[in-house]
Structure formats: structure tokens, C-alpha cells
Amino acid sequence: MPVVTKVTQQKRPGRYNIYLDDEFAIAVDENILIRFDLFKGTEVSDTMLAEVQAAEYEQKAYATGLLYATGQLRSRYQVYLKLREKEFPIDVINHALDRLEKAHVLDDRQFASTYLASASHSGKLGRKGALQKLKEWGISDDIVQDVADEYDDRDELEHLDELVAKLMHKYQRQAHRMAEQKVMQNLLQKGFASRNIQQALHHYVLENDTADEPDQEWENLNRDGEKAFQRYHQYTGWDLERRVKGYLARRGYTFDLINRFVDDYQKNI
């Protein structure tokens, strides 16, 4: 039966080379070295060597998962995907994940709670968007429901007041109604609640001086109207008017303003 004749330490900390009958046999983690007593003089049967190889493979999966989950909180499913990416078998992955949970390296409840606290603070996503992210990261519905209240409407509304102001400024060269629609679409995609977005838009109108808004709307309409007439310059009469009005209506301008603009424009041709 082969005997361990030499054990040498690799440059990588915690890794050892095992020699059987003076020939290299396998490299193992320090935990495996100790568990199987792979020191000089130990006899190693074929069965034992197979067990060592299997244990070393599982240790490698564990170490890979540990490295990925260290320094940044990860969900169990995120680590699972990383290990699948490394092509470890499912049973080996599950064993490694169980060990990581037992060592409190993985804790989906803590992960969910910490992530929601961060999302609530940053405001990059709405409550619904943050909860959806947790589900995408494999957090169970039970845990999601348990931590959901850690991001409430008050947090969301506070962020929305700032986000709506920034987005309305971004879209200020568009029709007011179109700007509001784009703000709504943008924030819905980030998981903010429709009712909260509408409330924030209402706050925006109340808290901002809208005395210049009609002039801004008319200026935007004139600019877009000029583009419309240039775009459809090959048409005449009612066909031209119909296309221009349709173009401007799709951009959110009211029909009263559109009719006023078209009448003024045609008088000055």
C-alpha cells in the first residue's frame, strides 16, 4: 500500500503537495491534510485516495464560494451561480453552500435586510424595484415579505421629490405633458409606485414657480412646430396641416396650443 513519504508546502498559503512512495500524488488544502492525517508515514489506499480527491474538490468549491462572498454580502443564489460558472457539480455546490451558511458567511435574511437599507438610503430604485432585485437574487418570498417594510412610502416619496425635479429639468424642452409622461415611465421602470410618482409630480408643480411655464411651452411648441413643417414640406393644404398637428399631438401639446401655432405659422408664410 502506498505511503506518504514527503509533504511540502506550496507558495500559496494553506496548500500542500503530497508524495506517495516519493512520487507526487495530489495537492491538497490544509484542512484536507489534517482531516485525513496525510503526514509522512501514513498509508493511503486507493479508496482513501479517492476520498481525499473528492474532499479536495469540495474544499475547492467551498474556497471559491468563500472568496466570492468575502468583502461583499452575497445571496446564496449569487454564490450558486458563481460556482456553476466554475462548472462544479450541483451536489458539490450545495454542500459548499450549506457549509458557508453554517459558517454564517451566507445569510439571505441579513443580505435582504442590508440591501433594502442601502436601497432605501440611495433612492436609486423604488421599493418595488428593490424587492424585485431581491427576488432576482434568489431571496425567498417569505424573506422578502418579512423585510419589505424596511423600505416604506416615506422613504420613496423623499427620493421622488428630488428625482422628479431632476427629470423635469432634463425634459424641459419638451411639452409639459410629454415631460411628465417620460418622468412617469422612467421612474416606473426603476420600481417606484405610480401613486407616489403622481404625488411627487403634484408637489413639483406646487413648489416651483410656474409663471414662466406657458412661455416655455409656447417656445417648445414653436421649435417642434418648425421641425414638423420642415419634415412635411412636400405636402400642402389640409394634408400638411393634418400631419403637422398629428406630429405635435404625439409630442404632448394640447390641441388649443397646436391650433393657435398652426394658424399663426400659416399666416406668416
> CATH no. for residue 190?
1.10.10.10
Indicate whether 129 and 173 sit together in one domain. no
pLDDT at 210 over 60: no
pLDDT at 94 over 60: yes
Going by pLDDT thresholds of 50, 70 and 90, the confidence category of residue 98 is very high
pLDDT at 99 over 90: yes
How does 159-172 read in b/e, with b if 16+ C-beta sit within 10 Å? bbeebbbebbeebe
Going by pLDDT thresholds of 50, 70 and 90, the confidence category of residue 209 is low
Indicate whether 144 and 162 sit together in one domain. no
Residue at a domain's end among 119, 134, 150? 150
- Specify whether the CB–CB gap between 52 and 26 falls below 8 A: yes
Indicate whether 200 and 224 sit together in one domain. no
Indicate whether 221 and 257 sit together in one domain. yes
Residue at a domain's end among 101, 122, 140? 101
State how far the alpha carbon of 231 is from the alpha carbons of 104, 152, 215, 225, in Å: 64, 48, 24, 10
Mean pLDDT of 102-123: 93
pLDDT at 268 over 80: no
Distance between CA 142 and CA 235 in Å, rounded?
62
Residue 80 in any domain: the answer is: no
Indicate whether 131 and 117 sit together in one domain. yes
Could you tell me the three cell numbers for 57?
A: 474538490
Share of the chain above pLDDT 70, in %: 97
Residue 168 in any domain: the answer is: yes
Give residue 211's pLDDT. 47
Residue at a domain's end among 189, 207, 225? 207
User: How would you list the strands of the sheet with 23-29, edge to edge?
Assistant: 4-9, 15-20, 23-29
Indicate whether 51 and 66 sit together in one domain. yes
Residue 22 in any domain: the answer is: yes
Give residue 232's pLDDT. 83
Residue 245 in any domain: the answer is: yes
Could you tell me the three cell numbers for 97?
A: 453552500
Residue 81 in any domain: the answer is: no
pLDDT top residue among 204 and 133: 133
State how far the alpha carbon of 208 is from the alpha carbons of 15, 103, 194, 211, in Å: 66, 54, 21, 9
Q: Indicate the burial class of 54 (C-beta count within 10 angstroms; 0-12, 13-18, 19 or more).
A: exposed
Average confidence score pLDDT of the chain: 88
Going by pLDDT thresholds of 50, 70 and 90, the confidence category of residue 53 is confident
Could you tell me the three cell numbers for 112?
A: 435582504
Indicate whether 171 and 134 sit together in one domain. no
Indicate whether 218 and 181 sit together in one domain. no
Distance between CA 244 and CA 249 in Å, rounded?
9
Range of the domain at 37: 4-71+95-101
Indicate whether 194 and 228 sit together in one domain. no
CATH number, position 250? 1.10.10
Give residue 242's pLDDT. 82
- Specify whether the CB–CB gap between 160 and 202 falls below 8 A: no
Q: How many domains does the chain have?
A: 4
Residue 113 in any domain: the answer is: yes
Give residue 113's pLDDT. 94
Indicate whether 199 and 228 sit together in one domain. no
- The least confident of 65-69, 124-128, 143-147, 234-238 is 234-238
pLDDT at 35 over 60: yes
Distance between CA 60 and CA 90 in Å, rounded?
14
Residue 90 in any domain: the answer is: no
Kindly write down the DSSP assignment for every residue of 32-83, as one continuous string: HHHHTT--TT-B--HHHHHHHHHHHHHHHHHHHHHHHHSSS---HHHHHHHH
Phi–psi pair at 25, nearest 5 degrees: -115, -50
Indicate whether 67 and 10 sit together in one domain. yes
How does 106-123 read in b/e, with b if 16+ C-beta sit within 10 Å? bbbeebbbebbeebbeeb
Residue 251 in any domain: the answer is: yes
pLDDT digit string, tens, across residues 155-208 = 899 899 999 999 998 988 888 888 899 999 999 999 999 999 999 998 888 877
Mean pLDDT of 254-258: 80
pLDDT at 212 over 60: no
pLDDT at 105 over 90: yes
Nearest CA-CA partner of 76 in 84, 118, 54: 84
Indicate whether 119 and 169 sit together in one domain. no
CA 100 remoteness from chain centre: 24
Going by pLDDT thresholds of 50, 70 and 90, the confidence category of residue 1 is confident
Mean pLDDT of 119-148: 93
